[in-house]
Structure 1
């Protein structure tokens, strides 16, 4: 069986499901291909459908039907489980702990007539929200590494769309629970969808994502990813021991190097110190739309990991907002715009976001700089505070 033929037939099957054709007839017609599906096959055909013009949101409407059909064969797929101390090992542990919490709360849902159900549900949602750290490690570490291995792994946009759906459901539940006379029926309805989404997400990771990852990532990749994971919290598990790494050689190599400008000279050490102390999230996207640099201030607003270096900036954003990113980049490249700005409220913060087109001395576009700053305190300033009053 040629790989091209296999993928073509599997795509035909998926499209038939999407168009709501007779499921049994489709299954009988394509069973010879379905029973030979692998995790990487599934990611490939998902990415091909995205390239055909389907959106991640559209694919979410029927992807669970596909997983139900493919489950029998994917669950038997042989793959090497990660060892204790590896990046994927801790992701699986986090999933196991999430499932334990979901199972533990089921009796509380059944007994929702109790007077303290609202309080218990609020506590549960706060606990479930901790799983977002796990999700961020997928989006900012694992996905970028895999995208660099094979173009087909751009298909994980569908999983990212599921992440955003889960985040929205949690946000909706928190909103409902804040209301004095909350709608219990609506809360339980959304909670059911959240349960379905979380169980499905764990299943997709362990049937598709993790097996595919073990086939394309090498030991160096996994070690680097594990180190980068310490920039995030560990959901429901104790923080592992940080691996010993040496950076002295790189730091020694930078000594004596400086940047000469018309207004003075800066050493590499000074430049790094400045970039890391300025209270701004800075991300540089080069002229080819690849992430080239990001700063690491003490209180970074949006998570970034070294894994994103070299990543297409489109893959750094949720699927539903990619078209806006593309519009900004096209406006900068054409010279139509030089700046874009936004401001949002997030987790009690007021964040000011700016995008600037970067150009060389001849006006040629060489990239985009993104700056994000928490400006709540600045907006509240009144009167004056003079230099002599700095303490």
Structure 2
């Protein structure tokens, strides 16, 4: 009981400290006031405090603005927290390995820049040519963030009581993505000068190194102590849907008995179920296997959200450009988006539920492709709302079509 009381006291004092920083109070005075708490803070405390801030209505942008000031003060305590490191070959083991490999590459770039000490302005063109391919390579680390957001986060949302800070971390991931785009854009522009580049470079390095620390010192220790071995095995299997950036890809383990369990709905799927099931439609009969093949061979990404705002299904189209993992099935759709864009999803769902709208269209430019994104309200024969289907497709080639093609031509 004493430990529980002390933990509660530590959490309350850390909350007061963080709110004081946000209010602009003198940081040194705050540190002196809460020194005992600061010296003993744990990863659990920082997550719980941030969760409370969000529940108090503090916006993610404000939390992000002051987060580093707060973390800087408690870094020593976080780094001294003792936790059992993940077993070799586990999901978390490879996530940490990827972080280590990324940090190594970041430090190699630092060495390159340092070699230009005193010559940054005059020889920036030479530096630019060296750095551009290296920063382009950093785009591959996107797979690390996607695995974290689409595999790890859905599991933690089901296990952690204080899971809301994961949304803030996702937003920070997006900030890193945006910074990398700016850096590559500057390096691709021959008119860029060192003074402009070094500002964005400093911001990027700060963000990525701080993210590595947040993962390794906060999220991973708590995850290691709260997630079961069976769930780690599930995550590890799902991670093979993505590359392993900057490390040697491990050998994929065999799934046990070819059976998967959806922890949210307790639905067990086996190969036998798929092979033996046949579905009678008004317009024909298909096996479950045929239905799945149709979904997966359509040149579109499909995601279905049910009437309770939970992800119910997604297809595995070839070259899917919006990543999905089995872990998202059963996940609240609001948790599938960073804070900056979740309001758009909520507006669409609300308009569909009330019947004000039945369709929403968006189109974006991404990775040299023109992507059409469409949302359709799902309703049964009585008109009752049954969810949303999201259909996205690469319309780049479609936009370029002209005239007619009536004869067979293999492209």
Q: TM-score, normalised by structure 2?
A: 0.91
What residue number does 2:262 align with?
none
Among residues 8, 11, 14, which one is paired with 1:10 in the alignment?
14
Deviations 1:14-34 (A, max 9, x none): 111111101122223223333
Q: Of 79, 82, 85, which residue of structure 2 is paired with 1:75? A: 79
Residues 155 and 327 of structure 2 are in contact (CA less than 8 Å); yes or no, is this contact kept in structure 1? Answer: yes
> Which residue does 2:312 correspond to in 1?
292
Measured in 2, the distance between the counterparts of 1:164 and 1:25 equals 34
* Residue 142 of structure 1, aligned match among 118, 131, 152: 152
2:300 to 273, 277, 280: 280
- State the 1:8 CA deviation: 2.9
Give 1:162's aligned residue.
172
Q: What CA distance in whole angstroms lies between the structure 1 residues aligned with 2:271 and 2:37? A: 53
Counterpart Cα distance in 2 of 1:139 and 1:290? 16
Q: Equivalents in 1 of 2:240, 2:59: separation in Å?
A: 33
Which has the higher mean CA deviation after the structures are superposed, 318-327 or 29-38? 29-38
1:44 equivalent among 48, 51, 66: 48
**More displaced stretch, 35-44 vs 368-377:** 35-44
- Per the TM alignment, residue 327 of structure 1 is displaced from its structure 2 partner at its CA by 0.9
How far does residue 4 in structure 1 lie from its aligned partner after superposition? 4.3
How far off is 1:347 after superposition? 0.3
CA drift at 1:233: 1.1
How far apart are residue 69 of structure 1 and its match?
1.4
Q: Secondary structure at the match of 1:62?
A: helix
Structure 1 residue 294 displacement after superposition: 0.7
Deviations 1:257-283 (A, max 9, x none): 222121111110110110110011111
Cα distance in 1 for partners of 2:377, 2:40 equals: 48
Deviation at 1:125, TM superposition (A): 0.9
- Residues 230-239 or 182-191, more deviating: 182-191
Please tell me the root mean square deviation across aligned C-alpha atoms, in Å. 1.7
Aligned length in residues: 391
Q: Deviations over 1:22-80 (max 9, x none)?
A: 11222232233333322122112112111222222211111111111111211111111
Moved more, 29-38 or 211-220: 29-38
Q: Show the 5 A alignment for 1:224-303.
A: 224-245=234-255, 246-247=257-258, 250-303=270-323
Residue 129, structure 1, aligned to residue 139, structure 2: yes
Q: Which structure is higher in RCO with an 8 Å CA cutoff and minimum separation 6?
A: 1
Alpha-carbon distance between aligned partners in 1 of 2:9 and 2:334, rounded to the nearest angstrom: 30
Question: In terms of mean alpha carbon deviation, does 380-389 or 306-315 score higher?
Answer: 380-389
For residue 232 of structure 2, give the secondary structure of its aligned residue in structure 1.
Answer: helix
Match of 1:93 in 2: 97
1:173 to partner: Cα distance: 1.4
SS of residue paired to 1:78: coil
Partners of 2:35 and 2:286 in 1: CA distance: 65
The separation in 1 between residues aligned to 2:8 and 2:306, in whole angstroms, is 34
> 1:193-252, CA deviations, whole angstroms, 9 ceiling, x for partnerless residues?
111111101111111010011111111111111111111111110110110124278111
**Deviation per CA, 1:122-169, whole angstroms, max 9, x where unpaired?**
122112222211111111111111011024112111211111111111
Where structure 1 has 5 or more consecutive residues not aligned to the other structure, the ranges are none
**Residue 32 (1) aligns with residue 43 (2):** no
Matched, 1:361 2:381: yes
Where in structure 2 are the equivalents of 1:170-249 lying within 5 Å?
Answer: 170-245=180-255, 246-247=257-258
Q: Structure 1 residues 128, 388: CA separation in 2 closer, same or farther (over 3 Å shift)?
A: closer
Q: 1: distance between equivalents of 2:10 and 2:356?
A: 45
- Give, in angstroms, the shift of residue 356 of structure 1: 0.8
Deviation of 1:308 (Å): 0.8
In 1, the alpha carbon distance for the partners of 2:389 and 2:226 equals 32
**Shift of residue 98, structure 1, vs aligned partner:** 1.1
| More off after superposition, 206-215 vs 25-34 | 25-34
With over 3 angstroms needed to count, the CA separation of the structure-2 counterparts of 1:356 and 1:26, relative to structure 1, is: same
SS in 1 for 2:246: coil
Aligned to 1:380: 400
